[in-house]
Structure 1
Amino acid sequence: MHVPTSFPTVTSEEALADAIDAVGRPEFVPATLDYLRLAAPFHGCLALIFESGKRPVHVYDNVRAERRAVVIDRYLDGAYLLDPFREYFQSSRGDAVARLRDVAPDRFRNSTYYQSYYSHIRLKDEIGIFVALASGKTLFFSIGPMGPERDFSAADARGLRRVLPVLSALCRRHFDRYDPGETGSLAVNIEEVLTQGPGACLTPRESQIAGLILKGHSTEAIARMIGISGGTVKLHRKNIYRKLGISSQGELFNLLLSEMTKA
């Protein structure tokens, strides 16, 4: 993500005043981010609108132009279906601040999604900020830490939670006036995507397990979640790979993205 050349040197009161003054104007999101950086320093930001059952809508980012295809386009083309923050949104509503470690599956960092997407966008850690809008949609900020080797601290999360009521009030006031547009066409869940094209041969149980594998859940976690044995999960995985003519999670991930780009 783009690294700002400087950070706010104003007081939190001055930054808040600038954000309030920007409500209803194009510079609202950058001004609001300057206010947030005084609560917890961060570099990159991607802002999206989430709506249940729909593709995310892009609102703002500060990603360099040459990195957009990898960071933004790939996410919006379908990688968002594996995003643990979107999964959190799907199961929870309301304003929230969550660190990656709070929402990620137990084997997330071993997943192809993490290795193929996160490694390419050079994002080691992430905080997600959720603001429920009056329209029923949710504004989502994905922010990245100061450097590639730095994780967000508990203090960073506390600082953002402290200002979350102010952020939420600002965003609701702004987005009541400014609608970034309709969210995309219905985006079926990952299990449904995996039963399209080559995946039409999968049973509902197999597509469910394939989706959980891609999201980064371990065999043991999948077994607990759906009430079967670990050995049965492994047998399903073997059958999934055989039916699809693949031999790795990476090939399964590429199949998912290939089907999403056809949608």
Structure 2
Amino acid sequence: MHSPTIQTPEWYRYLAELYDQAGSQKGRAAMPEKLALALQYLSRADSILVMVYFPNKRPVLLYADIDHSCRKNNFDEYLQGFYLLDPFYQMAFSCSDVTLFHLQDICENSFFDSEYYASWYKQSGLKDEVNYLIPLEGEAVAAISLSRNMDNSVFSTSKISQLDIIKPLISNVMKCHWADQNPLPAEEENREQDLHGALCKAMENFGRSLLTDREVEITQFLLRGYSIKATALKLDIAPSTIKVHRKHIYKKLDITSHSELFSLFIDALSVVSKDGEDDPLLRYHQ
């Protein structure tokens, strides 16, 4: 079976359906789903998510076609704070124009040995991912994630090139959809902003009741999947010094491995205080 391309007649049928949606508000509301179906056809992705990231509140899910049952469960955890560790989320607000990112290009090799990769990608049965990041009005950023499962191949260079060519189309569709969206009611908006703020603060303060400032800083990098070498480069200190700090971190937190550190962080997020100002471990150990 030949891989579809942007010259394939079926692709043009998907584009025609997208064009038909633009003429009415109801049609524009359905654009994320129609776009997702078109991209799923072109990319041969097994799963697709269309979300919107915000700098001051949790992501909002617009559309999901998730092939793996474990990923459905994981996505609930993702919205409860996991997203803060997502490399695509971390890059989203530095994009000035629509950009297509490939997971293998934005992460150093050590990321694929990290607990984030094991807990989100491997446990979800995912092998590879590409992600469109599209800046919208009001500092929002749309994110379209195309993923392939372990029994599929990784995205080829030619397929990524095809997906990259259609970036202007992707951007225009998402902006057209977003222009019709109404803001959340004030009470709900405030609640979402408060929750996101509390999660961010909790991440900053994780372990602070037990660790030194430098150890907290190193813990942040370890949680985000940075290797010893990469952390040392970021902090401009020797890798051997990072190893010593890591040993002290593990001892103070009563853990013995990176996987235990990651699990402790995820568990601690479930008991974050309303403002997140204190170390979530204080509540977790109560």
Q: Is TM > 0.5 for Structure 1 vs Structure 2?
A: yes
Equivalent position of 1:209 in the other structure: 218
Alignment of 1:139 with 2:138, yes or no, is no
Unaligned runs of 5+ in 1: 1-8
Q: Higher relative contact order by CA 8 Å / sep ≥ 6: 1 or 2?
A: 1
Give the structure with higher Rg (CA): 2
Name 2:278's counterpart in structure 1: none
1:43·1:144 contact (CA, 8 Å) conserved in 2? yes
Aligned pair in 2 of structure 1 residues 68, 43: CA closer, same or farther (>3 Å)?
A: closer
Equivalent residue number for residue 105 of structure 1: 108
For the pair 1:121 / 2:124, whether they are aligned, the reply is yes
Distance apart, 1:102 and its partner CA:
1.2
Residue identity matched to 2:231: I
Q: How does 1:42-191 map to 2 (within 5 A)?
A: 42-63=45-66, 67=70, 69-145=72-148, 148-179=151-182, 181=184, 182=189, 184=193, 185-187=195-197
**Preserved contact between residue 195 and residue 202 of structure 1 (Cα < 8 Å):** no
Once the two structures are overlaid, the 10-residue window that deviates more, 174-183 or 153-162, is: 174-183
Report the Cα offset of residue 12 of structure 1.
2.8
Distance 1:64 1:152 in 2: 17
> Does the 8 Å contact 1:51/1:138 carry over to 2?
yes
Distance 2:183 2:160 in 1: 27
1:203-243 CA distance string (max 9 Å, x none): 23212211211222211111111100111111111111111
Count of paired positions: 254
Which deviates more from structure 2 when the two are superposed, residues 124-133 or residues 9-18? Answer: 9-18
Distance in 1 between the 2:262 and 2:204 partners? 10
1:34 aligns with 2:37: yes
1:193 paired to 2:200: no
- The DSSP-based 3-state class of the residue aligned with 1:252 is helix
Contact 2:131 2:146 in 1 (8 A): yes
Residue 135 of structure 1: how far off its partner (Å): 2.4
More moved, 114-123 vs 64-73:
64-73
Question: Deviation at 1:261?
Answer: 1.9
User: CA distance change for structure 1 residues 43 and 250 in 2, over 3 Å: closer, same or farther?
Assistant: same
SS class of match (1:94) = coil
Matches within 5 A, 1:2-13: 11-13=10-12
Please state how far the C-alpha of 1:69 moved relative to its aligned partner. Answer: 4.9
1:229 to 214, 238, 248: 238
Confirm or deny: 8 A CA contact 1:190 1:211 kept in the other structure. no
Contact 1:46 1:143 in 2 (8 A): yes
* Residue identity in the other structure for 1:193: M
1:168-199 Cα deviation digits (max 9, x unpaired): 11110111102474565334676852524x54
Residue by residue over 1:83-113, the C-alpha shift from the partner in whole angstroms, topping out at 9 and shown as x without a partner, is 1111222443431101001112330111111
Change (3 A) 1:140 1:83: same
Consecutive unaligned residues of structure 2, counting only runs of 5 or more, are 1-7, 273-286
Structure 2 counterpart of 1:243, one-letter code: K
- Contact kept, 8 Å, 1:130 with 1:140, in 2: the verdict is yes
Shift in Å, 1:253: 0.9
Partners in 1 of 2:168 and 2:112 — Cα distance?
Answer: 31
Aligned letter for 1:172? Answer: K
Q: Distance in 2 between matches of 1:179 and 1:72?
A: 25
Moved more, 215-224 or 68-77: 68-77
Q: 1:256 aligns with which of 265, 272, 278?
A: 265
Q: Cα offset for 1:256? A: 1.4
Letter in 1 for 2:205: T
TM-score, normalised relative to structure 1: 0.86
CA contact (8 A) 1:106 1:216 kept: no
Cα distance between partner residues in 2 of 1:91 and 1:27? 28
What is the CA distance between 1:247 and its match in structure 2? 0.9
Aligned residue for 1:125, secondary structure, equals strand
> How far does the alpha carbon of each residue in 1:101-137 deviate from its partner, in whole angstroms, 9 at most, with x for none?
1112330111111112211110110001111112220
